[in-house]
Amino acid sequence: MSMLTGKVALVTGGSRGIGAAVAKRLAHEGAAVAITFSATGERAAEVVAAIEAGGGRALAIRADSADAGAVKAAVAETVRVFGRLDVLVNNAAIARVGTIFDYAIEDLDQMIAVNIKGLFVATQEAVRHMGEGGRIINIGSVSSDYMPLPGGAVYSLTKGAVASLTRGLARDLGPRGITVNNIQPGRIETDMLLETVHRVIPGKGSLAEKLVESIAVKRFGSAEEVAGMVAYLAGAEAAYVTGANLKIDGGASA
């Protein structure tokens, strides 16, 4: 019997990258998994198909994490279809980079809406359905306390808020037997990262080369490695881990 057999998980932003890897890993561990997506449903359908091909149960729900009503509806739909909710993985996030000199207020508002408010709303709705053994797992970023490049101030602001919220929610929910933890990935090899780093800095080479050089293990991480940490926190063995901000960055911030 897998460690999450009989459990139900919701992964926001689960159609690609870290979210897709997390959804597949939780399904592999026995959970029924719902994922949200905000753009095209093609990649979400591929994740669902992969889970079902492995004998699991999965559901894709269109829900923009900037829309509080859509987030609430996604939680409700997960419970309606699968009958319960045990694990929430707050993965959905956006990154709009730029220095303060010309950073658009509209981009600031959108970053806060998705990365902070969307996460809060999903958590608030999810805990209405959770009992003893519930798990809230946030996907933050090492950028919350380590920013090696200019242009990431607002992104780091939102991820710093996630880290602080994690600690506070652990106190709120601990008496109910619900744990709240925050995983802080470093440079993980996803489409989003690769689109950003495979460019040349005049006179300095590619950004990818510079970033890899700053990582202790000299490589980018994989989404599957992050998913492994999520699976541990979702399971019974992590019942005494709460309020933690756990880095998985290959030693980049060591």
* Catalytic positions, written as ranges: 155
Structure tokens at 241: 């881990």
Element (H, E) at 181: strand 179-185
CA distance 113 to 94: 10
* Core vs surface per residue 159-175: b (16+ CB within 10 A) or e: bbbbbebbeebbeebee
Q: Is the dihedral of CA 77, 78, 81, 85 positive or negative?
A: negative
Report the DSSP beta bridge partners of residue 183: 139, 246
The 3-class secondary structure across 104-161, one letter per residue, is: CHHHHHHHHHHHHHHHHHHHHHHCCCCCCCCEEEEECCHHHCCCCCCCCHHHHHHHHH
CB neighbour list of residue 167: distance below 8 Å, 6 or more residues apart: 243, 245
Three-state DSSP class for 62? Answer: strand
**Nearest partner of 115 among 150, 143, 76, 73, judged by Cα:** 143
DSSP letter string, 189-232: --HHHHHHHSSEETTTEEHHHHHHHTSTTSS-B-HHHHHHHHHH
For residue 188, the 8-state DSSP code is: B
How, if at all, do strands 87-90 and 8-11 pair?
Answer: parallel
